[in-house]
Amino acid sequence: MSIGIHLVGDLKGVAPEKISGSEAMQEVMEGAVKFGKLTKIRSYYHQFSPNGVSGIILLAESHLSFHTWPEYGLVALDIFTCGPSENAESALEYILEKLSPTSIEFKRIERGLEFPRGSQKEKLLEAVV
């Protein structure tokens, strides 16, 4: 167990039209937040000229961020949550389904291994009982 899960990936071979504009990427990322049952605080998307997008969604659980290079069919993706790992994984699955990369370079990092998720809640419950 750890305090959080950090999913970092390069999504390759994504159709340029899917990752060129901020509206399309906003739809995918906001959908991922909902599908992953994550808690959005605020989001920001920046449209580059002539194309390409960067964005970040601040979550109560941490963040989801990305940067696109349509000319290479590349999306650099970062999902970090301190909630259940299934939520981050569901958000990633949603993004992969919508963007359909031909390949993925992916790392799963367990953050804060010395601080297991739920340990503070369990300690509080023990103190009450």
Tokens standing for residue 39: 């808690």
Tokens standing for residue 97: 């389904």
Q: Which helix (H) or strand (E) holds 107?
A: strand 103-111
Told to judge if 62 belongs to the known catalytic residues of this protein, a careful annotator would answer yes
Active site residue: 82, 90, 100, 119, which one?
82
Told to judge if 65 belongs to the known catalytic residues of this protein, a careful annotator would answer no
Rounded CA gap, 110 and 57, in Å?
20
Told to judge if 67 belongs to the known catalytic residues of this protein, a careful annotator would answer yes
Cα separation of the two ends of the chain: 24
Active site residue: 20, 22, 62, 65, which one?
62
Rounded CA gap, 46 and 92, in Å?
21
Active site residue: 2, 67, 85, 90, which one?
67
In order of 9, 17, 18, 68, the CA distances from 71 in angstroms are: 18, 10, 12, 9
Q: Please list the active-site residues.
A: 62, 67, 82
